[in-house]
Amino acid sequence: MVTWSCVLLHLLCLNSLCLKARCPLTLSPSSLVVRFGDPFQVNCSVPMKGFSLLGWEVTLVRVAPEPTMNSFLVWRVEHMTEWAISPSCYAVSDMEGPCHLHLPVLVYKAPDSVSLSFVNHTGSLLEHHQYTLWCTVHNVAPAGNLLVTFYRGQTQLVQRHSNVTEKTPVTEVFTLDIVPRREDDGNDYWCEAELQLHPTGTQQRVAVASEKVTTTVLFKMGESLRCEVRGNPEPSVIWLKDGRLVTPPAHSTRAHAGKYTVLATGLFGERNVTVEVEVVTCRGILVYSTLQLSITSI
């Protein structure tokens, strides 16, 4: 008889249903996701029979409810003012002794702001050069649950996670190196920080996006300014810079920056196009910025 009961007990203990029967506490909700400062409540319940006492064990003794002989005990908090707590509900049974059920808690705070900036750089970008973007997420908790996404326009560039383990709010910087291409001219860069609170996700998103940073990409067009004007008969073309007649510059120097008007005269009458030209240094070579100097089919 003794041997039989031992075997039976062993089998029962390997069985998870059996274990549950021995500590049949239920938490509702079974895990807690709460914004710092918000109220919450968790109901710990147990089938009446066989248990004499039900209680909450929380690090903040002052907010724990008194143990009860009832079949449920609700832990209520008006304002969550702790960043890291590890509460559990317990039941004491006459026959089995005490059993505990841990309540996983995630206390979060959305970032105050998210900002995007270029590291040590302002103004236009040069094609084929490397730049570093900083996405700074201000005052967020827990940083370990952050997912930061960098965008160019609507294109997702890269996603970054943090491995900071602090539960309290921190400010964190995420970086991305970019090498702009001429097609990127005029695009916006921005980033978004999302707190991943619900991996199974039904609740609303907690996400903050940065301002958009619009960029100009400068790229080399050639050693001289060119303007192609086609017509039949060939129109005559003159260049005006800041209102004065000039010859088109053959080599770039800084003095060539300014506003150019290309005036074409033909049988059709007069047409002109005005462009703003920037001259910048690109690896020691002076280059013109984005030029659209091609007038066709006049």
Ligand X SMILES: *[C@@H]1O[C@H](CO)[C@@H](O)[C@H](O)[C@H]1NC(C)=O
272 binds ligand X (CB under 6 A): yes
Q: Which of residues 56-85 bind ligand X (CB under 6 A)?
A: 72, 74
136 binds ligand X (CB under 6 A): no
Residue 196's Cβ-count burial label (10 Å; 0-12, 13-18, 19+) is middle
Cβ nearer to ligand X, comparing 185 with 192: 192
Identity of residue 260: Y
- What's the DSSP call for residue 64? S
Least distance to ligand X from the beta carbon of 217, Å? 21
Residue in the block written with tokens 């919450």 = 40
Residue 62's Cβ-count burial label (10 Å; 0-12, 13-18, 19+) is exposed
149 binds ligand X (CB under 6 A): no
Cβ nearer to ligand X, comparing 43 with 68: 43
Least distance to ligand X from the beta carbon of 57, Å? 18
Angle at 181 between CA 146 and CA 147, to 5 degrees: 5
Instruction: List CB contacts of 201: < 8 A, sequence separation 6 or more.
Output: none
Q: Provide the mask over 218-247, with x wherever binding to ligand X is found by CB under 6 A and - wherever it is not.
A: ----------------------x-------
263 binds ligand X (CB under 6 A): yes
Q: Which of residues 24-63 bind ligand X (CB under 6 A)?
A: 43, 45
C-alpha 11/C-alpha 18 separation (Å) is 9
173 binds ligand X (CB under 6 A): no
3-state SS, residue 122: coil
How far is residue 80 CA from its own chain's centroid? 25
165 binds ligand X (CB under 6 A): no
Cβ nearer to ligand X, comparing 124 with 261: 261
Which structure tokens are listed for 78? Answer: 């008006």
Cβ nearer to ligand X, comparing 108 with 260: 260
Least distance to ligand X from the beta carbon of 4, Å? 36
| CB 227 within 8 Å of CB 263 | no
Instruction: List interacting residues with ligand X (CB under 6 A).
Output: 43, 45, 72, 74, 119-120, 162-163, 240, 261, 263, 272
